[in-house]
Amino acid sequence: MRDIAICSFAQRQQAAIPDESEVEFMVPLMVQAKDAVGLTQQDMGFTCSGSSDFLAGQAFSFVSTIDGTGPVPPISESHVEQDGAWALYEAWVKLQCGDVDTAFVYSYGKSSPGSLRDVLATQMDPYYVAPLWPDAFAVEGLAARLLLESGTVSERRLAEIASRSRAHAASNPHAVRRAEKSVDEILAEEYLADPLRPSDIPASADGGCAMVLAAGDRARELCDRPVWIRAIDHRIDAHTLGVRDLTAAMSARIAGEKAGVGADTVDFAELHAPFTTSEAVLIEALGLDDGVVVNPSGGALAAHTMMAAGLIRFGEAFERIARGDGDRAVAHATAGPCLQQNLVAVLEGE
């Protein structure tokens, strides 16, 4: 296995970016991530991106966003209809193959032109579920009630997670939901999708991020403190909601074990937990103890840019380690309803 590191990162998230197209708000981020390590697009051995045309209703939007990289002369490129963390995973595999030493990864989502909670119904089973157009919040509400009534978590515990996210987000300029709120204030909120309250659900955002990966000494040349991806694993649960335990993300548990999360001390974890309930489940599945700071950025609750929120977890962890606020961290990304897919990595500073 080659040592592969994150070497630079740039992100932007706002509640909505109505006055810029995807490629318009992505180009500055792409330039920023490349400039930070002094590379141009032609220096990149491989480029991979993640996005979904359904968010803004723009067919083949990723093809036009490619222009933001400056693909002249033509570049080696791939795209995933998935969160950018899976683009990172593909780039990591490409780097492991050994024929390239650098990779450029980016992802983005502009959900504000549509209604994301409805658009997400299209990811459900097309025969039995999608025709009913289940609301994405209500679908998570089913998992939430199972968690609450099984005694796995309490409403107060969920409110504590929401309150902590807000407190952490207060110092994150990229967070959308930054207003602090006490546990009692959150418990006093009216239900939005009973049993979920507004603070239990993610603050939707438009935005994206860009990142440069490099292998071995090339990474050491590019930045002062490369953040090494020590291990990475991805697992997926069954699509059918009725056949998996919604109170325990089995795929996250296995991915965490395969990535060796528990093999050493974890300073902090950036978990792609769109809901407070997802965070509670993930902490348990990954075996994170009370000493682990969870989502010091505020996490996806504070800003959920669909298709980028997972990769942004990697970027947040990179920035924190790169500046010395921790040495070993867990970065996680999820996809699908109720934590169906889980990608877990262990990151370590040089």
Partner 1 sequence: MADDVLTAPLVLEYPFTRTTGPVVGAFLTGLREGVVLGVRRPDGTVLCPPLEYDPITATALGEMVEVASTGTVTSWSWNGAPRAQQPFERNFAWALITLDGADTPMLHAVLVDSPAAMSTGMRVEIRWRDEREGHIADIEGFVPLGSVDGKGF
Partner 2 sequence: MPVDPDSTPVGLGVEVTAPASIADVEMVQRVRTPIRIEYTYTPGRALSAYLRGMAEKRIVAERCPRTGQVFVPPRGVSPMAGIPTVGPVELPDVGYVESFNITRVPIATRPDLEPPYCSAWIVLDGASVGFMGLVINCEPESVRMGMRVKAVWKPDDELEKSATNILGWEPSGEPDVEISDIETIGRPGDLQ
C-alpha 178/C-alpha 165 separation (Å) is 8
Q: Which is nearer to partner 2, 8 or 172 (CB)?
A: 8
Q: Which does 97 bind (CB under 5 to 8 A by kind): partner 1, partner 2, none?
A: none
C-alpha 268/C-alpha 320 separation (Å) is 9
Q: Does 118 bind partner 2 (CB under 8 A)?
A: yes
Q: Contact 158/183 with Cβ under 8 angstroms?
A: no
C-alpha 124/C-alpha 128 separation (Å) is 8
Out of 5, 85, 95, 119, the residue judged to bind partner 2 by CB under 8 A: 119
Q: Which is nearer to partner 2, 70 or 336 (CB)?
A: 70
Out of 69, 107, 276, 341, the residue judged to bind partner 2 by CB under 8 A: 69
Q: Does 254 bind partner 1 (CB under 8 A)?
A: no
- State the nearest-atom distance from the C-beta of 98 to partner 2, in Å: 26
Torsion of CA 71, 62, 308, 100, to 10 degrees: -40
Q: Does 60 bind partner 1 (CB under 8 A)?
A: no
Q: Does 144 bind partner 1 (CB under 8 A)?
A: yes
DSSP assignment of 206-243:
EEEEEEEEEEHHHHHHH-SS-EEEEEEEEEE--S-GGG
C-alpha 259/C-alpha 254 separation (Å) is 8
> What is the per-residue binding string for partner 1 in 221-250, x denoting contact by CB under 8 A?
-----------------xxxxxx--x----
Give the three-state DSSP class for 245: coil
Which residues 196-225 are close enough to bind partner 1 by CB under 8 A?
196
C-alpha 204/C-alpha 101 separation (Å) is 35
Q: Does 130 bind partner 2 (CB under 8 A)?
A: yes
> What is the per-residue binding string for partner 2 in 5-34, x denoting contact by CB under 8 A?
-------------xxxxxxx--xx-xx---
Which residues 131-170 are close enough to bind partner 2 by CB under 8 A?
131
Torsion of CA 24, 26, 31, 32, to 10 degrees: 120
Q: How many residues bind partner 1 (CB under 8 A)?
A: 43
Q: Which residues lie across from 204 on neighbouring strands?
A: 304
Which H or E element spans position 158?
helix 155-169
Q: Does 302 bind partner 2 (CB under 8 A)?
A: no
Place of tokens 């959308």: 176
Q: Which is nearer to partner 1, 238 or 263 (CB)?
A: 238
Q: What is the torsional sign of CA 204, 168, 320, 348?
A: negative
Out of 3, 77, 100, 113, the residue judged to bind partner 2 by CB under 8 A: 113
Which residues make up the interface to partner 2 (CB under 8 A)? 18-24, 27-28, 30-31, 40-41, 54, 56-57, 64, 66-72, 112-115, 118-119, 122, 126-127, 130-131
Residues that bind partner 1 (CB under 8 A): 16, 18-19, 54, 57, 113, 115, 117-118, 121, 126-129, 131-135, 137-146, 149, 191-196, 238-243, 246
